[in-house]
Chain A
């Protein structure tokens, strides 16, 4: 059996599950000390004065710095925005606030002390005199006239006003519509909750003028680049950024935060290695949040129930500052997905980005695509109800036909491939759809038992980020290719240096599988290195379900180059033309003459001995590839949730969840299934329990895990997963990406199921999270409906 496609166990796990993984907080450097950041308790306030005198003389304190000190220092002192939209307002984001604080958790000072207890004790002694100002935390309120201003330069709190699609054509479609449906919905604000909190350990080598920063990063080269360009200002070759073991990110560790720059600045100014690690409460206040949209959507239908137009207006919270890639999330990662799996001839979407006095919002697992999917899959159910059609039938009626690919949507994407019917068929079969509908009808008739609801979500995503020219034209300040170097050692074993930077995905296993498969070597002969800017050539990192499709393809292309060079060496040894050499089953031989063969190991050894070697060929066997994808990849699938609702309390229980995903070719089915399970839990968490809630003063009311409800194993059913396989046609592995699929699809499936259960009460929509009280009120405010 091929090693590509085998469920081999993750080689990462023995160390991680026995506590031997070395995360940032496990690292110890000689003379290391600790930083604690003093954070604003106010959402919006003017800093009148900061008195550090008592903190500076507290036990163990080495130094105390404020934003004013950082201004005087050599650091650039700001963290930048790296995705620029037309007319985007980009206020500075200083690494420590200087005059104004703009969200609870905004850093105002930092204390460096011998140990972390002393640092935290002394941080409490820093006296900041604030003049509190009015705050606005709600995205809709922020855009209303007279709202408190977050930044003077962003009038009306507007960061950008962006649109996509053909407005006139869409209006024309609505003027011809036989039916229309509309919905106003919120996509709730979420806190990422990686298990490992963010942290950084910075060490300054004064003699060499070099800075090393170990940081919880999904993309260490990007962190290094931004430190050079914006926050620290040292030359790129004088900064080394290392992502050691990283315990999950979900997007929250893509961004360049002030905190790692503060740690670096403290190390450079104290001469001591400085470690900063967020407490759990601190992560909740400062990790970039996700989602937080308010949208109005309308869909136009013809008399037969075919969609002829879709228009969407979304207000998207940016928070207090524009985080690293924040402007891309509610625009190009969102509006482009609003066609879903459907053939929609006219679409227009407008997004207003708004500053609010809250934690910044940026990419969080799915990043724009869950928001788009939630909207389109919700309004699909409204369309089905309007037409009196089963939600599955209504979707099927509007699917892009399997022979229509490549399909150009009205929102700038070209879907390269797809075949949506079979996945839906399979998912319906997995849940026993007709029997469920019969059971639902029976319960509705008898009034016995809990309310039963069934919800569908047939979703598509664009991942494998991304074709560099395309994203460049859309505002990205970086290419989104990926790199790989394949180094074959003299004895034939292999080290792969990948520009991807895994943080729980299993790259060390799956990337080795790619190489072992291509070179027909044992998978244990392949080692994978990632996450260190000194060891690895520039790379773009891991996010957007891109590592297999882009990072894996780069590895594949580097392997191609290794094989090509191997052929030249083998040709020389076999006294044949390189064009006649084939590489099969781990050996080079002359095509059609299997007896004339050179084993892999012999060719590799000769590459290093170079004793019997082509004159015009360099010794060594090591090749690098930078792979720039031709398009996004387009995973899709059909997800079905079945819920039961307690008629007395509104409590929702997820009874069953089945999904059929198409993520293209699969390198390791076990890892793919794990990604689907985790993604589902995260998306179901949003649907039923999770929400970041601020009060009117900008205090985060769900700042701890006692208030912010993450899904736990006992709250979830055993998931039923399956796959169809439609390979990606434009990358060498035929893979598409799976990291976000579950999170993208499931919020809509669960919400649709709850609304389906409540449809007899006249309920058409409920916003997430679907808490018991919200559902209970929906049952009791709608009058005399019965379940």
Chain B
């Protein structure tokens, strides 16, 4: 496929990137694995691409003083291979290792992934389960928003056109905590028909899904009923039996009914995997 005409500019630093992005009809380009396919299908035809992939200040994982900070330009491959994340948030590494194929993981970035907000994408549920904050920079400075409020609709987020995600931050998991990501993927795209991210932090349990609905969601009732429980199979099954969603996706690949069923199965698998990983 052949994209329409566009200008291409490579930003040298974040400030320059923000200036460039304040222009008319611009799109930020990072790994390109969401945007370029849209361009090739002419579903997106921006006038200018601002390449931010060279901005080192938006890269890398640091875990310090109970806080994990992941730069928006960190690739899936780097997330999957990060030793620091194995302890701080195994669920993030695990989900990143299941994104696409090696080429996608080598180029695609955390920031690009969540900015694109494909409902079947793997990382959004992880950020919800981790109760992460998404930090955003724009012409008027920086701000941050809870992941739960960041994803606002089908492929829609809280991000304004002239803003860039700088990083994602969350409290790192400690000893006795655990997390897991389990995914039922579509055989063609590898995207999640149902992805379940479970985080057990002390006595608190958080479970979130992508692929099931237009917007990734936190299964709060399930988490609440399991928080403080013994996390036995029976407790997990019982909590999940009440799982509901008022508007699951239904398409060629899976009906709403099947998606909800998968959410119960994969939610259970993620919770059990996390439970069994606790020290």
Contacts and interface: CB of A to CB of B under 8 A. Distances in A.
A648 interface: yes
Interface residues on A, range: 20 to 34
Interface in B248-262: 252-255, 258, 261-262
Interface stretch (A114-122, A202-210, A364-372, A455-463): A114-122
A689 B188 contact: yes
A705 B188 contact: yes
B245 interface: no
Given A281-B1, A773-B255, A649 B262 contact: yes
B187 interface: yes
A689 B252 contact: no
Nearest to A769: B187
A707 B188 contact: yes
Contacts of B191: 706
B140 interface: no
Contacts of A705: 188
A694 to B, nearest CB: 11
Nearest to A712: B187
B1 A649 contact: no
Contact of B2 (A120, A651, A689, A715): A120
Nearest to A651: B184
A190 to B, nearest CB: 14
A279 B184 CA distance: 30
Contact of A649 (B5, B184, B253): B184
Nearest to A123: B2
Q: Mostly helix, strand, loop or mixed at chain A's interface?
A: loop
Interface string B229-267: 000000000000000000000001111001001100100
Interface in A689-745: 689, 693, 701-702, 705-710, 715
B139 interface: no
A121 to B, nearest CB: 6
A179 interface: no
Nearest to B187: A709
B186 interface: yes
Contacts of A688: 187
Nearest to A59: B5
A776 interface: yes
A159 B46 CA distance: 47
A279 B187 contact: no
Interface in B2-52: 2, 4-5, 41-42
Nearest to B4: A121
A715 B187 contact: yes
B103 interface: no
B252 A709 contact: no
A34 to B, nearest CB: 10
4 shortest A-B CB distances, which residue pairs?
A709-B188, A709-B187, A120-B2, A706-B189
Interface of A: 116-117, 120-121, 124, 279-281, 648-649, 651, 688-689, 693, 701-702, 705-710, 715, 772-773, 776-777
16 contacts: A117-B5, A120-B2, A121-B2, A124-B4, A279-B2, A649-B184, A651-B184, A689-B188, A693-B252, A706-B189, A707-B189, A707-B253, A710-B188, A772-B184, A773-B254, A777-B258
Given A707-B189, A709-B188, 8 more contacts: A121-B4, A124-B42, A279-B1, A281-B41, A649-B184, A702-B252, A705-B188, A776-B258
